[in-house]
Chains A and B, each alone.
Chain A
Amino acid sequence: QTVVTQEPSFSVSPGGTVTLTCGLSSGSVSTSYYPSWYQQTPGQAPRTLIYTTTTRSSGVPDRFSGSILGNKAALTITGAQADDECDYYCVLYMGRGTWVFGGGTKLTVL
Chain B
Amino acid sequence: QVQLVESGGGVVQPGGSLRLSCAASGFTFSNYGMHWVRQAPGKGLEWVTFTRYDGSTKYYVDSVKGRFTISRDNSKNTLYLQMNTLRAEDTAVYYCVKDVAWAFDVWGQGTVVTVSS
> Which stretch in A9-17, A18-26, A76-84, A95-103 binds the other chain?
A95-103
Are A45 and B101 also in contact (CB < 8 A) when A97-B50, A99-B47, A101-B44 are?
no
* CB of B88 closer than 8 Å to a CB of A: no
The B-contacting residues of A in range 54-110, CB under 8 angstroms, are 55, 57, 89, 91, 93, 96-104
Interface range for B: 20 to 34
B52 to chain A, nearest CB (A): 9
Given A45-B95, A46-B95, verify A93-B45 contact (CB < 8 Å).
Answer: no
Q: List residues of chain A with CB under 8 Å of any chain B CB.
A: 34, 36, 38, 40, 45-48, 51-52, 55, 57, 89, 91, 93, 96-104
**Chain B interfacial positions (CB closer than 8 Å to A):** 35, 37, 44-47, 50, 57, 59, 61, 95, 100-110
